[in-house]
Amino acid sequence: MKRSLLKSIAAASLLLAFNAYAEPTVKIGTITDYAPFEYKDASGKLQGMEIELGNAMCKIMKVKCEYVTMDFDALIPALKAKKIDAVLAQMSITDERKKVVDFTDLFTLAPVQYVTKVGAGITENPATLKGKVVGVQSGTTHESYMNTRLPKSKSGIDMKIYQSMDQAWLDLESGRVNAVLADTTVAYDWIVKTGKSKGFDYAGKPLVDNAIFGEGTGIAIRKGDPLKASFNKAIKTVLTDGTFAAENKKVFPFTIAPNAAK
């Protein structure tokens, strides 16, 4: 009995020692329909530029990453409810969001632009969209822009809201919406893979409205969480050691690195 007890105590001690040195787990909330940043491949594995960069940052931070996928508009509520520890999903840093969460330093640039059928006569000028329907993803700055700057009562523009960008692109192809308002980066992926061959492209110039769109994207963290400092160090590392540039080059012929890192 004494020998068995000693063995049990020894085993428990080893387990405690292992747990003391085990990497802490950080639950990162993300999405699955925002190629090339976040998407699932044919086998169902989560892939994308931000996923690769997230993995690199977790190695730098010496933590284990666990990705939790959900709809975009559920991410901040999940973060506040402590179901996740951070949000990595091309989330724009805006004053409105900063009221409820903290953000890391700037991580990527995310210009915003309309996408429509070539020859539709649509530009960045709202007058060219009067009487038409614009598709946006739920919970995004694009939805906020339409509600704030171009409400139907004043602009004559209808808005259709989607849970995923995949649905928005399909409706643009079918003609159920006349244009989609999205980040230029995400639109680029769809245009190159699908839209160009079917006659779709960017419409007009990128929209400039920092009050709505912010200056770019960052990683969202709960208010006051020290995890912010760890992510900031990791962001600085991937931006300066070539990791970000290498991942950027895989998907874009232009850089989306913040100005300070160029």
User: What pLDDT score does 160 carry?
Assistant: 98
Q: Given this chain, do its domains 24-109+215-257 and 112-213 carry the same CATH topology? A: yes
User: What pLDDT score does 55 carry?
Assistant: 98
Dump strand ranges (E) for the chain.
Answer: 25-30, 33-34, 38-40, 46-47, 64-69, 86-92, 102-103, 112-117, 133-137, 158-162, 179-183, 200-207, 217-221
pLDDT truncated to tens, each residue of the chain (262 aa)? 444 544 545 444 444 444 445 679 999 999 999 999 999 999 999 999 999 999 999 999 999 999 999 999 999 999 999 999 999 999 999 999 999 999 999 999 999 999 999 999 999 999 999 999 999 999 999 999 999 999 999 999 999 999 999 999 999 999 999 999 999 999 999 999 999 999 999 999 999 999 999 989 999 999 999 999 999 999 999 999 999 999 999 999 999 999 744 4
User: What pLDDT score does 215 carry?
Assistant: 87
Helix (H, G, I), strand (E, B) or coil at 131: coil
Q: CB-based contacts of 85: which residues, under 8 Å, 6+ apart?
A: 26, 27, 28, 79, 221, 222, 225, 227
User: What pLDDT score does 10 carry?
Assistant: 47
User: What pLDDT score does 15 carry?
Assistant: 46
User: What pLDDT score does 261 carry?
Assistant: 41
The CATH architecture annotation of domain 112-213 reads: 3-Layer(aba) Sandwich (3.40)
Q: Are strands 133-137 and 158-162 parallel, antiparallel or unpaired?
A: parallel
User: What pLDDT score does 22 carry?
Assistant: 61
**Fold exhibited by the domain 24-109+215-257:** D-Maltodextrin-Binding Protein; domain 2 (3.40.190)
Of 197, 204, 187, nearest in space to 122 by CA: 204
Q: Are strands 25-30 and 33-34 parallel, antiparallel or unpaired?
A: unpaired
User: What pLDDT score does 188 carry?
Assistant: 96
What is the residue extent of each domain of the chain?
24-109+215-257, 112-213
